[in-house]
Amino acid sequence: MHHSQRQLVLITIFEHKLIFLTLMRNLLFLFITIICFSCQSEPNSMSSWSDLDLLKHGIPFSILAPDSAKVETIDFGNIMKDVTVRGNDDYFVQIFASDAKTLDVKTLKEEALKEVKDEKHFSRVVEESDQGFLYESRRDSTNTYYGFRYVRVQGSKEYLLQNGFRGFFTEEQARSMYKAVAVQSSK
């Protein structure tokens, strides 16, 4: 074998090793990326939340809630029922049930939106649907917090679902609770 042929063979072997190493590096990167994305879950571990049937608390539907959620009910007789569903610090939903003023969900949502917009610290609506909305409030330039309202009508009752009054929530926390109350039960 001549010296130039030998160099050519060595160069070819080197090129194949380089191609192989590049391919392996790319496969490793792809594998790590797939692992990272498959490990991601909804904010506040929403993927581990399950249906919470509220019927025994006088609410004829389910919402998603953490398994650790505790439910408290205050019944104001024929006027209103206040059902509180509280998980950890990042989950606090209140449901107000009363006789419906109207059966038009859109009208009830618009009333809730007007009420929120009239609040002192209201900043903007982040997301809106036919039955609810997610909003931002600013106490000052450094304190921003989020909340939601969601309206349901069932029979002659209206249900206003919202974040709990105590506590300040990030956008992700409020959005997760909003999604949790807007889901239709799988039952």
Going from N- to C-terminal start, the domains of the chain cover: 1-40, 44-182
Tell whether the model's pLDDT for residue 34 goes beyond 90.
no
Q: Quote the percentage of the chain above a pLDDT of 90.
A: 63
DSSP string, 14-66: HHHHHHHHHHHHHHHHHHHHHHHHHH---GGGGGG-EEEE-GGGT-SSEEEE-
CB 58 within 8 A of CB 47: no
Tell whether the model's pLDDT for residue 24 goes beyond 90.
no
Mean pLDDT of 20-28: 57
Tell whether the model's pLDDT for residue 133 goes beyond 90.
yes
pLDDT for 187 equals 45
Tell whether the model's pLDDT for residue 151 goes beyond 90.
yes
Q: What is the architecture, at CATH level 2, of domain 44-182?
A: 3-Layer(aba) Sandwich (3.40)
- Structure tokens belonging to residue 182: 């807007």
Residue 71, CA atoms < 13 Å, CB-side half-sphere: 19
Mean pLDDT of 68-77: 92
151 vs 37, more confident? 151
CB 30 within 8 A of CB 23: no
pLDDT for 63 equals 95
Tell whether the model's pLDDT for residue 80 goes beyond 90.
yes
Average pLDDT of the chain is: 84
Residue type, 59: I
How far, in Å, are 86, 93, 163, 168 from residue 89 at the CA level?
8, 11, 12, 9
Q: What is the pLDDT of residues 83-109, one digit of tens each?
A: 999 998 889 999 999 999 999 999 999
State how far the Cα of 137 lies from the Cα of 12, in Å rounded to an integer.
Answer: 65
Strand partners, 65: 50
Residue type, 107: T
Tell whether the model's pLDDT for residue 40 goes beyond 60.
no
pLDDT band at 37 (very low <50, low <70, confident <90, very high): very low
pLDDT for 5 equals 66
